[in-house]
Structure 1
Amino acid sequence: SETKTFTVTALLQLVDEGKVGLDDPIDDYVRGVPNGEKITLRHLAEMRSGLFPYTADPDFVHDLLSAPKRPFNPWEVLSYGYRHPNTFAPGATFQYSNSNLVLLGLVVEKVTGKRLADVIHEKVVRPAGLRHTFLPEGAEFPEPHAQGYTDQTLTGAVANATDWNPSWAWAAGGMISDLQDLRRWAPVLATGKLLSAETQAQRLKVLPTGFPGTDYGLGILRTNGWIGHNGSLPGYETVTVYLPSQKATLVLILNTDSLVDGQEPSTLVARAVTSVVTPDNVYAGGITPRDKS
């Protein structure tokens, strides 16, 4: 889900260039979205669209876990969510939904005429000085890498998910990076280095999520002073956050997403670390749900 920070940065750069407006309806760019004439790009980026999350659709979960190495395309995954009615009126409340970010990825492609992977590389990754960060086309995974383990399987048994295809997450969670790149990315993201001051201020205008201590802006979270995002998909979890008051960066990469007493392992580790190094700013937790994020 840290991919969301890259996708939304690419979108906000288009805002700075005057090519899109945050309050444009998604209908202006992508047809067929339920209630698309009333859902804006801002609603999508701040997780307040009301679109049903495709990852919560039982058929999607079954299809993914039955053949986790199969490819998915953006229109295919969106169709799982479109089977369900919208969950609330646009802007009414917060609901984490990968459907929102897949749509924003399609907006970036429509406006630029380029593949999202190329836009992110040219406009975000390279200017940020990142060398080992990219959005894969399929299941490619540069060596060396850790093996990832998950209990998100049809039987609930632990499985090795290292070679599962992340294409189902695409603009919402498909990117690959490493520790040093994420360490560099955290302050770039939190300080708005790649955006205008006005647009960064819009990004950091956070709203309540219902998760204690954690609010959400435009593809970014704020948790007890820390700014950034967490991520989770079968086999792996990450946290990449920056604390402006201390100029401190925290990056965690774990090779399991199996819950511990109902909590994500990355949240537990981040809390443990920050309770020692920044006791006045203890990481409260991310906002990714247990279904695929």
Structure 2
Amino acid sequence: MLKSGVAALVVLTLVGCSGGSPRASAPATAAIFVDPATTPLDPAKAMALQDVLAKIVATPDVESGSRGVTASVVTDRWTWSGAAGKDARGTALTADTSMAVASITKTFVAAEVMLLAKAKKVDLDAPISTYVKHKLTANNATVRQHLSMTSGVPNYRPDDYTRMDKAISAAPGKHWTPEQALSYDTAPVGAPGSTYNYSNPSYVLLGLLIEKVTGQPLATVLRRDLATPAGLQHAAFQDGEKPQPPAVVDANPGCGPANDGYLPCRSIASLSAANGGLAADAPTIARWGYELYGGRVLPADLVSEMTKGEGEYGLGTMRFTGQFGIGTAFGHRGELADHTSLLVVIPEKRLSVALLFADGNKQVDTAMTQLITTLQPLLG
């Protein structure tokens, strides 16, 4: 990962590979899930899942441990949510404590672009410069190449992060525009269709595309088209929206001692709005995974296109083939200095799991494997 001081909070570099792209002839192979269950898991059975969280906070200094954790499971038979430990300021977490979930935001942005393509408002085969004029779009990479991170637009350089650090520390409460965030990218742009290269700037550009095509702020569009239909009451698309309480309080030195109500503060939340600005609690993220990859907010053919591919990355989607020992899985990771998050959906089991750490730079995959292994016998 490329990080520099506070910039660990800003730009998220996650491993993946390029995937497929939407075409009208794509088969509708994604299964459509039934309504998510509302019945809580039997408390006696839930103790085993809570024990996993207790073990995570019992060893906060190891890579797979954390000072605080929340988790949620959504299935078609039962639901469960839990919490253990504290946030960076020592406040005890509850299952509905909101945290910054960073790059899980990309699943929303990608889903919105797919909806715009379905409505024929965006051509995924067209250069993104058709919609967004910018020096980073001058190489004629297509919309789908930006979705799959094969556009040739690389991530920010370490020196870019350093300059961002200084600007954030100088004004942590500032609202950043997408153009201001992109102005810090000095890496040379390559040829479109090049090999996979995780790119936050690509998703900043996709956020601009959404705003230009719809004529509405990104937060407004994602709320209207995705969060509301999916029944997500505790998702906040920063900085167009503020996280709802209860929410963690970070201890990021770049944001200063004051709490401005954003996670971690407004400058970082706004400059990463389209690539990592979402704040939510674990039940909301688990519900979103069930609704999205269960074909309940997008047509099944679009879900299939988001998840297909030969590598580890589709369209705004990480592919976790065989990683968690329970079948093919999809979702996304997210990382900030005080937060690590992971959404995993296993369609074969109609299972969605969200795991949020109130701690950064952690090996959340290991903890997710432990949680999924423990819940397998409960799936019936």
| C-alpha contact (below 8 Å) 2:340/2:357 kept by paired residues | yes
Match of 2:168 among 52, 64, 82: 64
Q: 1:212: which partner in 2? A: none
- Is the partner of 1:269 in helix, strand or coil? helix
Match of 1:252 among 355, 360, 377: 355
State the TM-score, normalized to the length of structure 1: 0.80
Q: For 2:172 and 2:157, how far apart are their aligned partners in 1?
A: 14
| C-alpha contact (below 8 Å) 2:235/2:243 kept by paired residues | no
State the structure with more CA Rg.
2
Does 2:14 align with 1:14?
no
| C-alpha contact (below 8 Å) 1:27/1:33 kept by paired residues | no
Percent identity for Structure 1 against Structure 2: 31
Could you tell me how far 1:63 is from its partner in structure 2? 2.8
Residue by residue, what CA displacement relative to the aligned partner does 1:178-206 show, whole Å, maximum 9, x if unpaired?
A: 12211211111212322223322221222
Q: 1:274: which partner in 2? A: 372
Q: Alpha carbons of 1:149 and 1:238: their partners in 2 closer, same or farther (altered >3 Å)?
A: farther
- In structure 2, give the amino acid aligned to 1:107: L
Q: For 2:299 and 2:240, how far apart are their aligned partners in 1?
A: 33
Q: 1:180: which partner in 2? A: 283
Question: What do you get for the CA RMSD once the two structures are aligned?
Answer: 2.5
| C-alpha contact (below 8 Å) 2:219/2:241 kept by paired residues | no
Does 2:325 align with 1:228?
no
Q: Which runs of 5 or more residues in structure 1 are unaligned?
A: 155-159, 209-214, 280-293
Q: 2:292: which partner in 1? A: 189
Q: For 2:135 and 2:376, how far apart are their aligned partners in 1?
A: 43
Q: Which runs of 5 or more residues in structure 2 are unaligned?
A: 1-102, 322-327
Q: Alpha carbons of 1:194 and 1:236: their partners in 2 closer, same or farther (altered >3 Å)?
A: same
State the TM-score, normalized to the length of structure 2: 0.63
Q: For 1:162 and 1:117, how far apart are their aligned partners in 2?
A: 15
Could you tell me how far 1:163 is from its partner in structure 2? 4.4
Could you tell me how far 1:124 is from its partner in structure 2? 0.5
Q: For 1:100 and 1:3, how far apart are their aligned partners in 2?
A: 13
- Is the partner of 1:217 in helix, strand or coil? coil
Superposed structure 1 runs of 4+ greater than 6 Å apart = none
Q: 1:3: which partner in 2? A: 105
| C-alpha contact (below 8 Å) 2:132/2:208 kept by paired residues | yes
- In structure 1, give the amino acid aligned to 2:182: L
Residue by residue, what CA displacement relative to the aligned partner does 1:270-290 show, whole Å, maximum 9, x if unpaired?
A: 1332344459xxxxxxxxxxx
- Is the partner of 1:245 in helix, strand or coil? helix
Match of 1:28 among 124, 127, 130: 130
Does 2:141 align with 1:39?
yes
Q: 1:84: which partner in 2? A: 187
- Is the partner of 1:18 in helix, strand or coil? coil
- Is the partner of 1:176 in helix, strand or coil? strand
- Is the partner of 1:48 in helix, strand or coil? coil
- Is the partner of 2:183 in helix, strand or coil? helix
Q: 2:342: which partner in 1? A: 239
Q: For 1:95 and 1:132, how far apart are their aligned partners in 2?
A: 31
Could you tell me how far 1:45 is from its partner in structure 2? 0.7
- Is the partner of 1:94 in helix, strand or coil? coil
| C-alpha contact (below 8 Å) 1:139/1:164 kept by paired residues | no
